[in-house]
Structure 1
Amino acid sequence: MVLLNSSLLSPSPGLVIWQIIVFGLLVFILRKFAWKPIVDGLKEREGEIEGALRMAEETRAEMAKLKSDNDRLIAEARRERDEIIKEAKDASSRLISQAKEDAQTQGAKILEDARASIAHEREVMLAQVKKDVAGLSLEIAEKVLRKELSDKAAQQSYVSTLIADAKLN
């Protein structure tokens, strides 16, 4: 068994006083030279962290604003695109309906011109036929008058022959 020295278990009062003085001196020196720079460094670091957090929050807010602006611009661009497409469709519809109306107008005009032309040609042909019939009638009458026939049957036979001869020509 080991016997413990009783002087280690109960220190002398002089040693305790010296230990208190050294401890107080150590606390004074640490407070004067170490605690203040350590606390200042911690406060500075805390300020830097708060600044970084504030900057991160500002950046986040700015990013949210930019995203909002981008969303607004995209919505505006889509609205403008839809408006342009609608205007193009409307213009296309107007052009198509205008083209149809123009085609119908031109078709009606061409049809009317063709009818007028046909009517004019018909009148010209009827005038020509009347002229030809009148000329033939005059020729037949002239030939009948030149040939004096005594009987009526011979005259009718001669007129029939002239009419048949006129139809052949």
Structure 2
Amino acid sequence: MSFVDSSAMNRLRHLVALLAMMGFVAGTHVVVTADEAAVVDAAHADDHADADHDHADSLTGLAAGHDGDAHGDAEHGSGHDGEEGVPPLLQFDFGSALCNLAIFLGVFAILAKFVWPVILDGLKAREQKIHGDLIAAEKANAEARALLAEYQVKLDEASGQVQTMLAGARIDAEASGKRIVEEAKAEADAQRQRALSDIETAKKVALSELAGSTSDMAMAIAGQVVGRELRPEDHSELIRSSIERMPSNN
């Protein structure tokens, strides 16, 4: 039996004892009241008997009446003294005790049969409800803890994913920056090479044009010196013959 049932049993025992005591006191009071009423009725009957006896004595004679009254009063006084010598509360009446015991057993039987089971059933139902509520609360607490742990794991995973994404974005940004710089350098080098090529081409064209102009001027001057117009074939022939006349280093 649980602690709740033990405390309920103790309370019920105290209640039954209190009710039994109240029943016992009530029964004792009823018996005492009945005894006091019987004593009072007996006293009134004695008073009436004494009055009748005094009236009869007065008819027989005054002297005899006075003697009878004195004798009757003495007997009446002794009777009252005898009845009032023992208090009614200190008298033991077996019938009254048996009646009180029967009342106590009846009250106890009624309480044990009708009141006690109902109270115990109510207390057991309350205990079961409290036990069920505690189990439900523990289950809800466990579920809440599990959900909290799951959410914490998800938060940790999300935090790790965010850190990974940030690291990847940082690496991508650095790689993109390097690629852009390298592409810019390559484009600058290509433009520089194109510029140098253009400059070299322009230089060659300029030199070619300058050589042509110089050759024309030389031919004109030579023609004036020789006295005739030199054609390009003559110019070539002069150059060839000049080369042939040059002394060989061999």
TM-score (norm. length: structure 1): 0.79
Among 125, 128, 147, the alignment partner of 2:206 is: 125
CA distance in structure 1 between the aligned counterparts of 2:116 and 2:134, rounded to whole angstroms: 26
- CA change 1:139–1:24 in 2 (3 A) is same
Higher mean alpha-carbon deviation, 6-15 vs 28-37, is at 6-15
1:28 paired with 2:28, answer no
| Alignment partner of 1:37 out of 118, 123, 142 | 118
Is 1:139 equivalent to 2:227 in the alignment? no
Instruction: Find the aligned partners of 2:90 and 2:225 in 1 and give their Cα distance.
Output: 184
| 1:82 correspondence with 2:163 | yes
**Residue type of the alignment partner of 1:28:** A
Structure 1 stretches of 4+ with a deviation exceeding 4 A read none
User: Residue deviations 1:126-159, cap 9 Å, x none?
Assistant: 1111111111111112123339xxxxxxxxxxxx
CA distance in 2, matches of 1:9, 1:39: 41
Cα distance in structure 1, aligned partners of 2:87 and 2:123: 45
Aligned equivalents of 1:106, 1:100: Cα separation in 2: 10
> Which structure has the larger Rg over C-alpha atoms?
2
User: Match for 1:112 among 180, 189, 193?
Assistant: 193
Alpha carbons of 1:37 and 1:114: their partners in 2 closer, same or farther (altered >3 Å)?
same
What does residue 95 of structure 1 align with?
A: 176
Residues 16 and 123 (structure 1), Cα distance of their counterparts in 2 relative to 1, 3 Å cut: same
Q: Whole-Å Cα distance in 2 between the matches of residues 60 and 9 of structure 1? A: 68
Distance 1:121 1:10, change over 3 A: farther
CA distance in 2, matches of 1:10, 1:65: 77
Q: Distance in 1 between matches of 2:162 and 2:90?
A: 93
Root-mean-square deviation (Å): 1.7
5+ long unaligned stretches in structure 1? 148-169
Distance 1:11 1:107 in 2: 135
Extract unaligned runs of 5+ from structure 2.
Answer: 1-85, 229-250
**Residue 89 and residue 9 in structure 1: after superposition, are their counterparts in 2 closer, same or farther (change >3 A)?**
farther
C-alpha deviation, 1:117, in angstroms: 1.2
State the shift of 1:98 in Å: 1.1
Relative contact order higher in (CA < 8 Å, ≥ 6 apart): 2
Distance between the aligned counterparts of 1:135 and 1:10, measured in 2?
178
Distance 1:6 1:94 in 2: 121
Aligned residues: 143
Of 63, 69, 74, 2:150 maps to: 69
